[in-house]
Amino acid sequence: MGKEKKSGGCFGWFIVLIVVGAIALALGLTLRNKFHKGGGDAPVPGPPGAVTKKYGDALEVALQFFDIQKSGKLENNEIPWRGDSALQDGKDADLDLSKGMYDAGDHMKFQFPMAYTATVLSWAILEYGDQMNAAGQLESAKNSLKWLTDYFINAHPEPNVLYIQVGDPDLDHKCWDRPEDMTEKRPAIQINASSPGSDVAAETAAAMAAASLVFKSNSGYSSSLLKHAKELFTFADQSRGLYSESIPEVQTYYNSTGYGDELLWAASWLYHATKDHTYLDYVTGSNGESYANWGSPTWFSWDDKRPGTQVLLSRVSFFDSKVASNANLQKYKKTAEAVMRGLLPKSPTATESRTKGGLLWISQWNALQHPVASAFLAVIYSDYMLTSSTQKIHCDSNSFRAADLRKFAMSQANYVLGDNPMKMSYLVGYGDKYSQFVHHRGASIPVDATTNCSNGWQWLESDTPNPNVATGALVGGPFLNETFVDSRNNSMQTEPSTYNSAVIVGLLSGLVTTSSVVTSFT
C-alpha cells in the first residue's frame, strides 16, 4: 500500500510538471511570435520590436528628400540651402498652387508622378505607421504627405477640372537655377471634360482616398480628401482619355501608356476608404476583365499600377472572408502571387534580368525604381502572409514562405545601401560613399551664388562636388554591369525623384523593425 501510494504521488507530480512545461512552452512561443519576426514565418501581432539601426538610419535619411523637394512657403524648414519658392504658382488660374513638390532635379510640378508619390507614401504609412513611429519618423512622413494633399485639394477646384502641371517643361529645361531664383513663366495646365486625363485624375483620386485613411483622426480634412477622391474618380471614369494625348507636351517626360490600371487602382483605394461595395464591384466586374490583365505580371511604377492593385486587393482576399471567395478577386491574388514568384531568385519563374550582385535590373534609365518598388510590394505581401498565417505560395513543385519574400526585399534594400560591387550607397547622405554629383539644380548651386536662368549652367558643368548635399535622394542607380558614372551630366544615373523616394521609404519602413500589418485600415 505504501509503495503504491508513493508511486502514485510521483506519477502525479510528473503529470503536473508536463502541464506546467506545456504552459511555459506555449507562453514562450506566444511571446516569441508577438515580438520576434526574424527569418521565421510565425505571425507577429502586437507592437514593433527593436529598430534595426541600419534601416532606421536610412529611413530618417530618405524622408529628408521630400523636404528638399518642397515648393511654396516652407514651414519649419531644416534644409539650410532651401528657401521659399514658386509662391506665385497658380496665380494665372486664381489658385494657390504654391505647395506640392518638384518631381526630380528640375522645377516642374508634374501631377502624374506626384500623385503616385502620395499614394505610395500613404500606403507605406497605413501598413507600417507603427514601424515608422518606433523609428521616430512617422510625423515626418505624414507632414510630407500633407504637403502634397494640400496641393491636390487646391488643384481640384471643380468636380471635372484638375490642374495637372505647373511650369513649362521647355522653358524650365532651358534653365539651370535655384528654385528660389526662378523667373521664367510657370503656367498652370488643366484637364477637364473636353481635354480629359483619366490616368492622372484616377491616380490623384487614389492618392486622396488613401490619404483620407492616413488622416482619419482629422475628420474634417479626411472627409474633404475623400470627397475630392470620389469626384475625381467619377470624372476619370466618365470622361475617359489619356492625359498625355490631351497635353502632348508631357509625352517627353511622363507619357502614360494607359488609364485602365489607374481606374482599378483608384477604385481599390476607394473601396478601402469607404467599404462601399460599388468600388469592389467595379474592380471585379467588366472593368477588371478589361484592364486587370490577370495572370500576366508586370512591374510596379508611376506608369503601371497593376502590380500595386493586385497586392492591395490581395489584402481583401487575405483579411475579408465575406468577399474573399469572389472569383475575380482571387484572380488578383493569383496574379500577385505570380508577381512575387517572379521576384524570388530560386523560383522557376524568376526573372533573369538581374545584375551579378543580385539587383533586379529592368530599365537603363532610373534603374533603381523597379527593384525598390518590387521589394516594397514583396515586404507587404510577406506580411500579409504572416498576419493571415498563410504558410506558403506555390510554383509547380516549389513552395516559398514569407521569409523568402522578406529575404528578397532585404537584398534589394541592402544593395541600395552599399552591399554592391561599387561598395557605395545609392541613397545620398547614407554611409560613407555616395554620389557627390547628384543631377539636381538646387544641390549644385551655392546658396550665396547670384544666378538666373541662363548663367547657372556653370554649376552643371563644374567638376567640383555639389556644395549642398541632396540628403535622402535615391539616385537613378547602376548600369547592368554595375558601374556608376558620378557626373551631373549623367542624369540617367544621378538624377533623383520623389517617386523613387516614396518606394524606398515604403521598403525601409517595412524592414525597420518587426510587426504585422493591420487587417483593416478603417
Those residues whose C-beta lies under 8 Å from the C-beta of residue 380, and which sit 6 or more positions away, are: 123, 127, 311, 506, 510, 517
Q: Can you read off the three cell numbers belonging to residue 49? A: 520590436
Burial state string for 496-519 with b = 16 or more CB within 10 A and e = fewer than 16: bbbbbbbbbbbbbbbbbbbbbbbe
3-class state of residue 393 by DSSP:
strand
CB 88 within 8 A of CB 98: yes
The three-state (H, E, C) secondary structure of 113-157, written as one string: HHHHHHHHHHHHHHHHHHHHHHCCCHHHHHHHHHHHHHHHHHCCC
User: Rounded to the nearest 10 degrees, what angle do helices 260-274 and 277-284 cross at?
Assistant: 150
What DSSP letter does each residue of 237-286 carry, written as one string? HHS---HHHHSGGGHHHH--S-SHHHHHHHHHHHHHHH--HHHHHHHHSH
Report how far residue 126's alpha carbon sits from residue 421's, in angstroms, rounded to the nearest whole number: 34
439 counts as catalytic: yes
The three three-digit cell numbers of residue 371, written as one number? 527593384
* Angle, alpha carbons 241-243-246 (nearest 5°): 85
Angle at 37 between CA 33 and CA 43, to 5 degrees: 50
In the set 107, 156, 439, 440, the catalytic residue is 439
Give the separation between CA 149 and CA 85, rounded to whole angstroms.
18
Within 10 Å of residue 439's Cβ, how many Cβ atoms?
26
Query: What's the rounded Cα separation, in Å, for the pair 452 and 171?
Result: 13
Give one word for 110, left, alpha or beta, with left for phi > 0 and alpha for psi -120 to 50. Answer: beta
At 123, the amino acid letter reads: W
- Active-site positions read 439
